[in-house]
Amino acid sequence: MTLSSVTVVDHPLVQHKLTIMRERDTSTKSFRTLLREISLLLCYEATRDLELTTKSIETPLQTMQAPTLSGKKLVFVPILRAGMGLLEGMLDLVPSARVAHIGLYRDHETLQAIEYYFKAPEDLSDRLVIVLDPMLATANSASAAIERLKEHGARNIRFVCLLAAPEGVAKIRASHPDVPVYCAAIDTRLNEKGYIVPGLGDAGDRMYGTK
């Protein structure tokens, strides 16, 4: 199997907004707004190769064969909690998408992902499934989410995040080589507590003001 691709979305607007998000004094409100704005731009890249078909339409001037999306509706899968911050921007661009939810948190000692919730549409096998989480650190959470989705039949999966650590990218490529990754930046490293450095801190806490 070929190794999954990693796409860094280096659009100037994404990079500018990401810098503001990283700053420690950026407010909770701004952090959420910027994440939503960036998610729209990440969605644009992650759906760039969606398949099209054509249909016959009437413009005010004539009939034409016009492009339209083919296939079944996409499924977005935010990893709770912080993945919710990417969802609304994605739905702004693809309003008809289905949404699955997976609840995972990292055990602070072991950094293993603990699952507490899963709810997905039944027919995942013939849909494009896009997993959302702002942070790919150890990739334990992303790998567990992808594993669970595969158990439920998903075969065409992509992972969209804001920041990735090189360690997390390596792990996803090893554990799920079929899953392309889209992110705004790959940072330097993980620290001893499993946080991305320089990073932006704890994404969930910064989104919801819980610390």
Q: Which residues are catalytic?
A: 106, 110, 202, 205
Nearer to ligand URA, 128 or 196 (CB): 196
Output the smallest distance, CB 141 to ligand URA, in A: 8
Give the residue among 131, 127, 136, 117 at the shortest CA–CA distance from 87: 131
Which of 28-36, 58-66, 120-128, 192-200 is the region at the interface with ligand URA (rule: CB under 6 A)? 192-200
Q: Which residue has the tokens 């990893």?
A: 79
Output the smallest distance, CB 187 to ligand PRP, in A: 12
Say how many residues make up the chain.
Answer: 211
Name the burial class of residue 74, with classes exposed (0-12), middle (13-18) and buried (19+) by CB atoms within 10 angstroms of its CB: buried
Calpha distance 194→111 (Å, rounded): 7
Quick check: 170 and 198 in contact, CB under 8 A?
no
137 forms part of the interface with ligand URA (CB under 6 A):
yes
Output the smallest distance, CB 204 to ligand PRP, in A: 3
83 forms part of the interface with ligand URA (CB under 6 A):
no
Which of 49-57, 66-74, 145-153, 193-201 is the region at the interface with ligand URA (rule: CB under 6 A)? 193-201
By CB under 6 A, what part of segment 100-139 binds ligand PRP?
104-106, 111, 113, 133-139
By CB under 6 A, what part of segment 146-205 binds ligand PRP?
168, 194, 202-204
Tokens of 22: 């990283």
How large is the angle between the packed helices 12-22 and 28-46, nearest 10 degrees?
Answer: 150
User: With CB under 6 A, what is the number of residues at the site for ligand PRP?
Assistant: 23
Sign of the Cα torsion 28, 78, 49, 143 reads: positive
Q: Among 42, 102, 184, 203, indicate the residue that binds ligand URA (CB under 6 A).
A: 203
Quick check: 42 and 9 in contact, CB under 8 A?
yes
3-class DSSP state of 27: coil
Residues that bind ligand PRP (CB under 6 A): 79, 81-82, 104-106, 111, 113, 133-142, 168, 194, 202-204
